[in-house]
Amino acid sequence: MSGFLGDKEVLTRERIKEILRNKEYSYFEEKVNLLEVRDDSLLLKISFLVEHKTRMIVIEEKDPIVVPFGDFKVEDWGDGVKKIADIE
């Protein structure tokens, strides 16, 4: 629909990919939610919040991701001043 402000942009999946690829946003937030800890894996949900031309766009996974715990690097940072050791 056009008006005195011009044509309103219609967002499609391809247009969203282009906005992300070309960094055509003024705000970007990434969020990972830990949904469940299983015996040998983590169940995660990933989402992104993007502001593009005063419009807020949420990009969220349809289904959670299962990631094996062995794929993560785990470190002990002690009191936070310096890393003490990797955890096996």
Confidence of residue 3 (pLDDT cuts 50, 70, 90): low
| pLDDT digit string, tens, across residues 51-79 | 999 999 999 999 999 999 999 888 888 87
Integer angstrom CA distances of residue 62 from 6, 46, 69, 74: 33, 9, 22, 28
- Check: CB of residue 52 under 8 Å from CB of residue 19: yes
Q: What's the one-letter identity of residue 37?
A: V
Distance between CA atoms of 7 and 19, rounded to whole angstroms? 17
**Domain range annotation of the chain:** 13-86
pLDDT of residue 40: 93
pLDDT of residue 76: 86
pLDDT of residue 42: 95
Q: With 90 as the cut, is the pLDDT of residue 47 above it?
A: yes
Q: What's the one-letter identity of residue 48?
A: F
Mean pLDDT of 17-35: 96
**CB-side neighbour CA atoms (13 Å) of 24:** 12
Q: Is 70 helix (H, G, I), strand (E, B) or coil?
A: helix
